[in-house]
Structure 1
Amino acid sequence: MGIRKRKSSDIWHIDFRAPGGGRVRQSSGTSDKRKAQELHDKLKHEAWRVAKLGEKPRHIFEEGAARFLRERMEKTTITSMTAHMMYFCGIFGGRDLASITRSEIMAAIPVDAVRVGRKAPLTAGTRNRYLSTIRAMFYDAAKEWEWIEKAPNLPELEEPTGRIRWITRDEAKRLLRALTDECMQACTAFGFQTGLRQSNILKLEWSQVDLVAKRAWIHPDQAKARKPIGVPLNEEALAVLRRQIGKSDEFVFVSAGEPLDRWDAYAWKLACRRAGIKKFRFHDVRHTWASWHVQGGTPLQVLKELGGWATFEMVLRYAHLAPDHLAQHAGAVLLHEPPRLAVVS
């Protein structure tokens, strides 16, 4: 045992018995005998320290990234998390997880959009999503896998407070008229009436709709918060659905018999321009739906259930749109008491 070559390969392989009785077999990844021997000695020394001194075995960053992604394959955000991990592997590849410091991680959070293959500048929110992914991986390495003693403390980057973008009913009508694509128009109209996220609308199946009971539902694996969402359907939402009957046996919203696999961003921007609406994304249809609800008197707790939000804090963004329930308390700070009405006997 030690290092040896196999007949079919020029790469040296490592093979030794660990102090605990287990056997370590792996490729050295090199055809250089001296480098292979150095790696063999290093691994053997580490195995001795793990067995005799109780130290944790070492794991490199790629091992952590691979396990982290493997355990989250069913997450809706797996695509973006994979991109984040590929970026960090380019920086920390080959490094012992326990050796990576907080300052190194914070310095590695991308600033340059070109560096991560994006055209638009990176916002604080986008950078925080990179940070959230690597933070979760280090947390798992410390708490779940017990690979490292302690996860680095990685703070959130400060994000500017943005305004909720919503439009009026007249603007919404103009936008719907400006959308020339029938499927996009139907999806948008349905969004204004239900507040569903774009992905849930595009992938909605007839098996998730009950026109008689006037309801639809989103399964837990389709929801961002991983909880089922019940969707009551008003008359305008039902009218949109009825116009889709017969176009597909499976999906509700289709174009040429097939569900939309991608949203036509150019057609959307063109329709917004025709309608005289600036800086309005499809996700703002959901904001508009929520804003109309609050302005119409829907309680915030009810809105939370309707929108399928995970936390009440998400709904509080819309509270300022309907301050009427506070009006009765506004007089508590008057400098002068209001005149009292004379009582007529």
Structure 2
Amino acid sequence: MALYKRPNSRYWWVRFTAPDGRQIRESTQTADRKAAQEYEDRRKAELWRQQRLGERPRYRWQQAVERWLIESEGKASLEDLKIHLRWVHTHLYDLYLDTIDRDLIDRITRMRLQEGVSNATVNRMLEVVRAILRRAANDWQWIDRVPAVRMLPEPKRRIRWLTREEADRLLQELPEHLEAMARFSLATGLRERNVTRLEWSQVDLSRRMAWIHPDQAKARKPIAVPLNNEAVLVLRREYGKHPVRVFTYRGRPVDKANTRAWRQALDRAGIEDFRWHDLRHTWASWHVQNGTPLHVLQELGGWSCYSMVQRYAHLSAEHLAGYADNISRICAVTSTFSGTHGEDEKEQAAG
């Protein structure tokens, strides 16, 4: 039977032998039998033309997505990217890659905007679409060119960080388990996931070090985390509460810190427009304000590129202060010259 359904699948599948002898088994991605039959007929015709007439194979969007997902396995942001791909699926599925042009992408952009999402959200969707099309053109040679993808303007959001007084106010309002994680975040700059899922096997209190494994880091590179006095103090208070995980709540491991209790603590502390991730921004801002060089901050924070830490450069200008006086001598000379010239004019006027 050419058309069939797999157990627990609502879609029809096709199974047939291609002209070159390959066994083809593919999902039609439709629950409609008539549409599935049309898909099978079309695929058989495509494969026949490729084998008998030497036509270049044409690939569909879904084939590109499947290959891209396999090659992107292990990417830290993959789960977030899948959210965008699921939305795009209804608009691009079953389309040939060479039919996806700028006009189509612009239409998809407009449809996404009509749902009330931000420009930033639309851009993240467009970025993954563009990445797949570029891979199809440059690496797989499935298409000859990549259509232009116009990104939407995004307002430059300022770095949100807390003053020491604000941080103390917030910590006082947090429940005990969240306070411990927040203190540790402010002491180390680690991301939420790296804090909540930290294990004792990643900590060496005697050496005052912790480490994040490559598969746990956003940049997929290991991060060495030196522990300052505040971080060590937090860890010692947590020691013995769980055999594996560092941070727990009522004896059970914590998987999420950005909870309702966190948001309620922010309200009580009178702190607005602040996310858990902004604790990392706060840590970086405090470092820069206290003289930590940007290249050192990059290594401490595990950022993959220098441009990521340049966002904090404006918070400290001590390294520029010496250069500010370079024109002081010029200003002094100009002032002296202007004063002398003025006296000469006065003498001439009096004579």
- The alpha-carbon distance between structure 1 residues 24 and 114, as it changes in their structure 2 partners (threshold 3 A), is same
CA deviations on 1:159-212 (whole Å, 9 max, x unpaired) are 211111111111111110111x21111000001100000110000000000000
What pairs with 1:311-326 in structure 2 (closer than 5 Å)?
311-326=305-320
Partner of 2:139: 144
The secondary structure found in structure 1 opposite 2:331 is coil
Equivalent position to 1:153, from 148, 155, 160: 148
Specify the alignment match of 2:199 in structure 1: 205
Asked if 1:230 corresponds to 2:224, the answer is yes
Which of 281, 286, 289 aligns to 1:295? It is 289
Once residues 203 and 237 of structure 1 are traced to their aligned partners in structure 2, the CA distance between those partners, rounded to angstroms, is: 16
User: How many residue pairs align between the two structures?
Assistant: 326
Q: Is the 8 A contact 1:191 1:285 kept in 2?
A: yes
The answer as to whether partners of 2:2 and 2:16 remain within 8 angstroms in 1 is no
| Residues 187 and 228, structure 2, Cα contact 8 Å, conserved in 1 | yes
Match of 1:97 in 2: 97
User: What is the CA distance between 1:219 and its match in structure 2?
Assistant: 0.5
Q: Structure 1: how far apart are the matches of 2:152 and 2:237?
A: 46
CA contact (8 A) 2:126 2:151 kept: yes
What SS does structure 2 have at the residue aligned with 1:263?
Answer: coil
Cross-structure match for 2:345: none
Runs of 4+ in 1 over 4 A off after TM superposition: 4-8, 11-17, 23-33, 35-39, 42-45, 51-54, 110-115
Tell me, yes or no, if the aligned pair for 1:12 and 1:31 is still in contact at 8 Å. Answer: no
Q: CA deviation at 1:155?
A: 4.0
Counterpart in the other structure of 1:124: 119
**Corresponding residue to 1:173 among 139, 144, 168:** 168
| Match 1:267 to one of 246, 261, 264 | 261
Q: Flag the 1:336–1:91 CA change in 2: closer, same or farther, 3 A.
A: same
2:178 to 164, 184, 192: 184
Q: Return 100-109 or 169-178, whichever deviates more.
A: 100-109
Q: Is the 8 A contact 1:194 1:233 kept in 2?
A: yes
State the shift of 1:72 in Å. 2.5
Structure 1 13/178 Cα, relative in aligned 2: closer, same or farther at 3 Å? closer
In the superposition, the TM-score normalised over structure 2's length comes to 0.82
Tell me by how many angstroms 1:267 deviates. Answer: 1.5
Which has a greater percent of helix? Answer: 2
**Paired position in structure 2 for 1:109:** 109
Shift of the 47–183 alpha-carbon distance from structure 1 to 2, 3 Å rule, reads: same
> Which amino acid letter does the alignment assign opposite residue 147 of structure 2?
P
TM-superposed CA distance for 1:329, in Å, is 1.7
Shift, 1:124, TM fit: 2.4
| Pair 1:253 & 2:247 matched | yes
TM-score with structure 1 length normalisation?
0.84
* Alignment gaps of 5+ in structure 2: 6-11, 337-351
